[in-house]
Chains A and B, each alone.
Chain A
Amino acid sequence: MTSPLYTDLRKRPRSAGRDRESALRQAPWNGTLGLSISGVRLDIHGLPLPLERTLIKRFHLFISPTLAGAEADLSIRVRPAVVKGYLDYDKKQSTTYRLETRTSGERLHVWSYAFAGWFEIDGKEGEVSLCDSDIEPPERSIENFLRVAFAWKASNRGGFLFHAAGLVRHGKAYLFFGPSGSGKTTVTRLSANDLLLNDDCIHVTRRGSDFRANGVPFKGRDECGAENAGEFPIAGLFRLVQSRRVCFEPLSAAAAVSEIVASIPFMSERKEGLERNLSVAEALVRSVPVGRLQFRLAPDFWNTIEETLRG
């Protein structure tokens, strides 16, 4: 399965590669990191200390102390891999990041070029092995493993990880979604005066019929991404379509559910994941406006959105 979440896999300079190799080989691997992402707690143990420092900086908005006795949603052990790599990297397909998943009993196995791991879907244990690799830096490997694990833990709590860009205006979140290339990052670039929640994924949480958009530490590109850890009520969901004109077309509930579920990554591996997604997506579309937004390379789509929501 090819992941919809792209990451940069440029050939790294030799010196950077050698620095990372030596960092990964430094012993001991006893660094610890705790993350709290809108109430979902992920603890990571066994990090090489330089990687721990890198991740603390990368995830700084979401760091939470690992408390003895406090139960995490998932506790992940990191180990050095005994192999040099997992998935083969095809330079011809270098713009598409490959991430594979497979269920085995109650575990979901996840692997890519430079890491392989598993976590218990309903349990609290997980493990990931990191390689020395020139293809993917270890902080990216950890982040991509955490995306998948977080998607399931968020679902266990009734929400979902949504492949969307989130912008906050006047205290409300506007979520822009669609397949890769539909314009999510473009929309964020056209909205420089608005608060960027994330350019790639949003944690949608639910309390009854109240849905909120939350920031997550996962990035679409290294220069964008996790700008905010806050929680905001959702003003609307906008399926992006690049066009010469600007207009908003509401979607039927069934069409909206279909579009939303198609943008919930990593959950289609098991039937129960799809069932949860269909259920929560239906509740969401009954609660907030969802439609197709045709837009062009200009920020005037905001006028259309505001007129639509006012009406």
Chain B
Amino acid sequence: MVETSAVPTRNPASSSRTIDGQAVIAVSDMAQIHILNDVGTRVWNLIDGTRTVAQITDLVRAQLTEEGYEGVSSGVAADVESFFEALAAKGMVNLGETSN
């Protein structure tokens, strides 16, 4: 369960590049390379060490709505939270701190 007040930070050993709308992420010494889908790329690119999970969710929702995606509101929060769980499990982000 991800705290929506948590401020995610990227693993400082990670390197990434967004290529044709897909984030490619490699983490030093972990021998893993990940490619993110559209929503995952948006989330990754919004992680700046100051935004909370809730703020990132709102921004992603706003982006998708503005770009004309239908039925966005209902599933975004769950998708983003589950995405952060997956990123944390893979060591790509740290969800340690919460914003007051």
Contact = CB atoms under 8 A, between A and B. Distances in A.
17 contacts: A252-B22, A253-B20, A253-B22, A254-B20, A255-B35, A257-B17, A258-B24, A258-B35, A261-B26, A262-B33, A268-B26, A268-B29, A269-B29, A274-B28, A278-B26, A282-B17, A282-B19
A268 B14 CA distance: 10
Interface string B1-36: 000000000001111110110111011111101110
B35 A269 contact: no
A84 interface: no
Contacts of B15: 271, 274-275, 278
B17 A278 contact: yes
Interface of B: 12-17, 19-20, 22-24, 26-31, 33-35
B22 A254 contact: yes
Contacts of B29: 1, 268-269
A270 B13 CA distance: 8
A279 interface: yes
Per CB-CB distance, the 3 closest pairs between chain A and chain B, nearest first, are: A254-B22, A274-B15, A278-B17
Contacts of A273: 28
Given A258-B33, A258-B35, A268 B28 contact: yes
A50 B28 CA distance: 39
Nearest to A276: B15
Contact residues of B: prevailing secondary structure? strand
A278 B22 CA distance: 13
Contacts of A252: 20, 22
B17 A270 contact: no
Interface in A247-304: 252-255, 257-258, 261-262, 268-271, 273-275, 277-279, 282
> Which one of A268, A275, A277 has the greatest number of beta carbons of chain B within 10 Å?
A268
Given A257-B17, A261-B26, A268 B31 contact: yes
Nearest to A279: B17
> Which one of B12, B20, B26 has the greatest number of beta carbons of chain A within 10 Å?
B26
B45 to A, nearest CB: 14
Contacts of A275: 15
A270 B27 CA distance: 9
A290 to B, nearest CB: 12
Contacts of A271: 12-15, 28
A155 B99 CA distance: 41
Contacts of A278: 15-17, 24, 26
B55 to A, nearest CB: 26
A255 B36 CA distance: 10
B10 to A, nearest CB: 11
Given A271-B13, A274-B26, A278-B24, A257 B31 contact: no
Contacts of B24: 254, 257-258, 261, 278
A254 B17 CA distance: 9
Nearest to A270: B28
Given A261-B24, A268-B29, 15 more contacts: A253-B19, A253-B20, A253-B22, A254-B19, A254-B24, A254-B35, A257-B19, A257-B24, A262-B33, A268-B31, A269-B29, A270-B28, A271-B12, A271-B13, A274-B15
Contacts of B20: 252-254
Nearest to B13: A271
Interface in A150-178: none
A152 B8 CA distance: 32
Contacts of B35: 254-255, 258
Interface string A179-205: 000000000000000000000000000
